[in-house]
Amino acid sequence: MKKKTYLDLITKMIFILGVTTIILGLGPNIISAEENKPREMIDFGVELGILQKGTAKALINGYWVPSFTHEGYTMIALADLNNYGFDIKFDNELKKISVNKSEIKEVTGFDEEQIENKERSLIGKPMVHTNLSIYIGNRKIPCYAVEGSTFIYFNDLSLFGYLEWNSGTKEASLLLNDNIYKNDLQVELAGNKIINNNNSNIDLSLVHIWHNEKSKENTIVQDSVYEISENAIVEFNVDKFELHQKNIYLGTVVKGSNLLENPFYEQDLDYYQSKKIIGYALKLYKTPEEKLLSLVKPSIIIGTMKKAAGGFQNGEKVEILYAQSGYWYECKSLTTEKKGRIPWGSVDIPRDPPTNKNQMTKEEVESYANLKGFTSNTNYFVWTDLDRQMTHVLKKENGKWKLLRSMLSSTGKNITPTPRGSFTIKDRGAYFGKGYMCKNWVRIWGDYLYHSILMDVTGSYILETNVLGKRASQGCIRLSLENSKWFYNTVPTNTAVWIN
């Protein structure tokens, strides 16, 4: 009997409901399913990064495009392409946006003032996961939502022309040409849906790709869907593969139909296995523990030195740790981690970020605290989430943290931030203030306190409204009058406090 090779043993064919699947590309380094935990896609609206000031100038046919930077890549707003010779088609039912080079539009661009205003208004804004799918032909490209706009990577437009990088001028230039990326297959992908735009029935050959984070290997699975009726919409299912539960799904490529092969098949296959796509997918698919941890982001304030001071260089990036309003900032260098104090006004500080409106559930708060293994010298634990402007008080019951109360808060503005880190509850008092009154103060460190919102000097009525849920203080953490009283009466001295 002929001895079977390793590939013979691992290659299998499965026939289910007229769909043929061939599993290929497995090697001796593939990790068994037991070594990987199931992965889930993160929720829509979860922050994936911050849109930064562009480090390169983007041009299409010589016209300047508003651009930004994320993790070293140039980013552009999808809607802006309407001014650069593209058609943007949105299908609300499929939640799909198709990008095509227009055959009639001319490149007009924006004037310099418009570009500078666009860039200024969006720098520093959070980039979040969106439920939209962006396609160039049948290539699904990464996208982010920023302040209601959809952003894509500039280099994904290379399918429409010649993309050149000039390291001297730091310019990324796209020259559009007539080699338009056309979908001659007359087949569209939209998520897990196949749309047959042919005037006849077709058989379609697909390829699904997964990435194993531990082994760094990619696995390719061939899939065939038969007898797709003309103008029909059918679905393919990647959930049926055990690979999908244990690995990172990178995407699906159309290999061809019984009528025509996909001329871009090899390009699309390489694209989905690129470093950029793997990195993007790793952000989207998490184990339950990773998904929970990804809900909580540290609110780090990054400033840029306007002049040399305190041992920091002009232009150096520093983290703003805390401040004395009008006098100084305590900073930490992002490159050397050196700490130092600099004069007020010597650093450029970004505007306050918007509050994250995606509040965590009671179960998520409890699971997060227990997963992180927080400890306290008392049976209580306090967590202030700067990103969401929420303060949670938990109590230990049967060895687990249980949420007692979540309270809308108002923490320090970026120019006078609330310090991040671990602290303990110290002394407390009934009130303080000159010309105003703050009630129920509880100290955590130095002059930083939990206390009520501002009231008149007699403590009879509230002076400020609509501040809770926003960064508004000089570093203290403000609570409603009712919540500050509860906090004052409930949380004992020496309780651990975590501010992120």
Dist CA 384 CA 418 (whole Å): 10
pLDDT tens profile 141-174: 999 999 999 999 999 999 999 999 999 999 999 9
- Residue owning tokens 């061809």: 256
For 119-201, strand residue ranges (E) read: 126-128, 133-136, 139-141, 144-146, 149-153, 161-166, 171-176, 187-190, 193-196
Whether 9 shows a pLDDT value over 50: the answer reads no
pLDDT tens profile 90-133: 998 888 999 999 989 999 999 999 999 999 889 888 899 999 99
pLDDT tens profile 257-315: 999 999 999 999 999 999 999 999 999 988 889 889 989 999 999 999 999 999 999 99
Where is 113: in which H helix or E strand?
helix 112-122
More confident residue, 80 or 358: 80
| Amino acid of residue 419 | P
DSSP code string of 306-330: SS-BTTBPTT-EEEEEEEETTTEEE
The pLDDT, as a whole number, for residue 30 is 35
The pLDDT, as a whole number, for residue 461 is 81
Average pLDDT, the chain: 90
Look up residue 215 and give its DSSP letter: T
Whether 491 shows a pLDDT value over 60: the answer reads yes
pLDDT tens profile 457-481: 888 888 888 899 999 999 999 999 9
**Nearest residue to 28 (alpha-carbon basis) of 13, 12, 8, 6:** 6
pLDDT tens profile 218-265: 999 999 999 999 999 999 999 888 888 789 999 999 999 999 999 999
CATH architecture of 362-499: Beta Barrel (2.40)
Q: Would 302-348 and 362-499 be classified into the same CATH topology?
A: no
pLDDT tens profile 312-348: 999 999 999 999 999 999 999 988 999 999 999 999 9
Sheet with 171-176: strands ordered across: 63-65, 57-60, 171-176, 161-166
CA dihedral 189, 193, 198, 202 (to 10 degrees): 110
Q: Is the dihedral of CA 377, 380, 385, 386 positive or negative?
A: negative
The pLDDT, as a whole number, for residue 234 is 95
317 Cβ contact partners less than 8 Å away, ≥ 6 residues apart: 302, 303, 304, 305, 333, 334, 335
Tell me the mean pLDDT in the region 61-68.
96
- Per domain, the residue ranges of the chain are 6-30+189-293, 47-176, 302-348, 362-499
Dist CA 379 CA 144 (whole Å): 41
pLDDT tens profile 353-399: 989 998 999 999 999 999 999 999 999 999 999 999 999 999 999 99
For 411-473, strand residue ranges (E) read: 421-424, 428-432, 438-445, 448-452
Here the tokens at position 69 are 């930077």
Dist CA 351 CA 489 (whole Å): 35
The pLDDT, as a whole number, for residue 36 is 53
Here the tokens at position 179 are 């080699």
CB atoms within 10 A of CB 249: 21
| CATH hierarchy code of domain 302-348 | 2.30.30.40
Whether 499 shows a pLDDT value over 60: the answer reads yes
Tell me the mean pLDDT in the region 414-425.
97
- Burial class of residue 223, CB neighbours in 10 A (0-12, 13-18, 19+): buried
pTM of the complete model: 0.73
Give per-residue burial for 310-345: e unless 16+ CB within 10 Å, then b.
Answer: bebeeebebbbbbbeeeebbbbebeeeeeeeebeee
Dist CA 166 CA 469 (whole Å): 45
